[in-house]
Structure 1
């Protein structure tokens, strides 16, 4: 499991990348003093680490982990920190380019992002090197490793904002970065915000949304079991007036698929495309989709409710 620096990797701090890869290649010699069992949206997830700091970050970041018992295959993530291998970085994440770069090899899949380096053997074993002082590293590693596995459990991670109305039904807001997902969440008043960045959609008796536990600006403390039926899906577009425009099935499907997070990467890309399309089509068949033109104020709530 040796990773070498890619010949062409669009980073600015190339020396730091080489250092991280060198550290990554030293991993695998440690014993893990702590482990955490989590039911992560259908995935039986076992997290192992030798770092108390990392353990505390995982406990704070992941869903309920008390009394979890596994059924079926287990996905294991071994979490390493620079300190585990006697490296104390001043600026572990000192890289202005935020993109996650994927490299495939006979040993599996490698991922490099400014705040983590990871390896997935594609057989249920993942290794991650990141600094626990920067929780973005944990969230970004999970966003790389788990969304494609979630598809096997008919769950899709959407780049979205989710707000629950006073009757207990949820609105899903989609849009490119900067289109207003966090703005909509910040204008929710006493409505429950599940997340302003990532949310998990699946079909139970209804098309349902659940908190993703994958970061964001607004992260409520709610029970992992809390799920909410989806009343409508909105594609956001900032405007000088408020208007709700129904989307065709094809357009709604396009918007939903475009909002799927961290899916269309890796060796099995075509398999994942098929899974996303099938799940998205089922969602669109049961939930109305609209374009929501809105101003940055609370007036739009009067229109959609």
Structure 2
């Protein structure tokens, strides 16, 4: 259904009220304040509170079951099937709901800094602050490029609309549904803005493999000599922190593509987790969080608007969303050359993995498919006192519409073709598990990473870890030797051995879920208990 209003053309929405297309940050802030959507911090950032949903609603995510795409989708708990007729009926109701609102906000944006693989996205939303989030997060076209803008993909964003599970085929009143055939995304029943960001990441994860481009849940930066580094990792492992390095230019903090010509950012902004953010350890992110135009999500502030980044009373998943140019040193155009180093980050709360180890190409694919980290009560609600191992294949299972092996094989081929060095970095605990040991020093991690990225670490002697088969550096200038070997950092060696053996068992159990789909060299590189 077409619309006479060009701001919503191609979306099927027929607005009865006022539509605000492509407003800039000052205008969006003014509307958001007028509408009571949030308030300003003392530094001018806009603070929004998302209510019940302070994170992604993974169990409420659906992919529409359509004949054109059915065979290629990785169906299961991640990509739950929604019948096409149910989606069509729900989309009609959401469009009607949006059309009846007194005000709508639209943004026309791009995803993909490489114009050869770029898509055009149109967001229609009920809230000014969500429009500002999207404007910060995606690539903002020049004004003259907005004339005649025709979206490739449409996001119908109705955070206050509640679906009816009995009628609409969903699980709850919240639904995030992706139709690959109609190129439409529905988001309803949740105000958490991350759903907007990750829905487009899922789209890119669908489109790019067919173009021989690997989509990646990783941050990326580039050195003065043009050496590109990728940082894979789940939330809380340090992707954003470690890629925002004053000595290297930031390409992007979360989502990238790797083609035969280089690496490119999908986004035009950053979405940093800011709980307990330190000005000393993370000055660039801290500065971006304290300025006008930034959106703060579920960050607590006092009556004067002074934010308390240590306060997790609303959620531990506090966020700061800002345009990437708020980081002083960024790669022009969000693109760079081919990766020289591939870093896989894990926050091992069991405290048994080395702070850094060198991986073979086969080991890199194994750890990519494993996607390991360990969560603790301080990072996620609902967890007990003991660490819990988490395995998210390709470091991004919730965003993979295709089978993980597709992405795994592409990564292995690209590493082999371009000769990138691969590293596993533990940003978690040392000297004991969570509650006994201490969190790895960010200064130590940065020092080890810089040695890896400048090539000096590859020249030192390595020793094989007996539990995980990882090659650990024996000595690195300026780093205490006992830090490099995790067992040496434990006072109770027997406790280390028991804890390490337990984690080996968890890796083995997880590997069984994808062992049948990998090559023999990856099977040989898998972590397994000693015979």
* Normalised TM-score (structure 2): 0.39
Q: Conserved in 2, the CA contact under 8 Å of 1:174 and 1:181?
A: yes
Does 2:157 match 1:80?
yes
Change (3 A) 1:225 1:51: same
More strand by share: 1
Q: Conserved in 1, the CA contact under 8 Å of 2:251 and 2:335?
A: no
**Residue-by-residue CA offset, 1:161-207 (whole Å, 9 max, x unaligned):** 32322333222223444444344246x234233344x23131233x4
- Please, which moves more after superposition, 39-48 or 57-66? 39-48
**Residue-by-residue CA offset, 1:36-63 (whole Å, 9 max, x unaligned):** 1525362432314264624443322211
In structure 1, how many angstroms separate the alpha carbons of the residues matched to 2:131 and 2:414?
36
> What residue number does 2:137 align with?
61
More helix by share: 2
Does 2:412 match 1:281?
yes
In structure 2, how many angstroms separate the alpha carbons of the residues matched to 1:155 and 1:69?
27
Larger Rg: 2
Change (3 A) 1:151 1:260: farther
How far did residue 274 of structure 1 move? Answer: 5.1
Of 122, 131, 134, which aligns to 1:47? 122
Does 2:348 match 1:236?
no
> What residue number does 1:27 align with?
94
Give the aligned CA root-mean-square deviation in angstroms. 4.4
> What residue number does 2:366 align with?
254
Count of paired positions: 256
> What residue number does 1:5 align with?
none
* Normalised TM-score (structure 1): 0.63
> Which consecutive unaligned segments of at least 5 residues does structure 1 have?
1-8, 12-20, 88-102
How far did residue 284 of structure 1 move? Answer: 1.2
> Which consecutive unaligned segments of at least 5 residues does structure 2 have?
1-57, 61-86, 273-284, 286-321, 370-392, 428-439, 455-531
Q: Conserved in 1, the CA contact under 8 Å of 2:220 and 2:252?
A: yes
Does 2:115 match 1:38?
no
How far did residue 280 of structure 1 move? Answer: 1.1
How far did residue 137 of structure 1 move? Answer: 3.2
In structure 2, how many angstroms separate the alpha carbons of the residues matched to 1:25 and 1:281?
43
How far did residue 118 of structure 1 move? Answer: 2.7
In structure 1, how many angstroms separate the alpha carbons of the residues matched to 2:345 and 2:105?
46
Aligned counterparts, 1:1-305, within 5 A: 26-29=93-96, 30-31=98-99, 34=106, 36-40=108-112, 42-49=117-124, 51=126, 53=128, 54-66=130-142, 67-68=144-145, 75-82=152-159, 117-130=175-188, 134-185=192-243, 188-196=245-253, 198-205=254-261, 207-210=262-265, 212-213=267-268, 215-217=270-272, 218=285, 220-221=324-325, 225-229=333-337, 230-236=339-345, 245-257=357-369, 258-262=393-397, 266=401, 269=402, 272-273=403-404, 275-285=406-416, 286=418, 287-292=420-425, 295-296=440-441, 297=443, 298-304=446-452, 305=454
**Residue-by-residue CA offset, 1:229-259 (whole Å, 9 max, x unaligned):** 2220123367899875431221112233443
Change (3 A) 1:223 1:39: farther
In structure 1, how many angstroms separate the alpha carbons of the residues matched to 2:136 and 2:210?
26
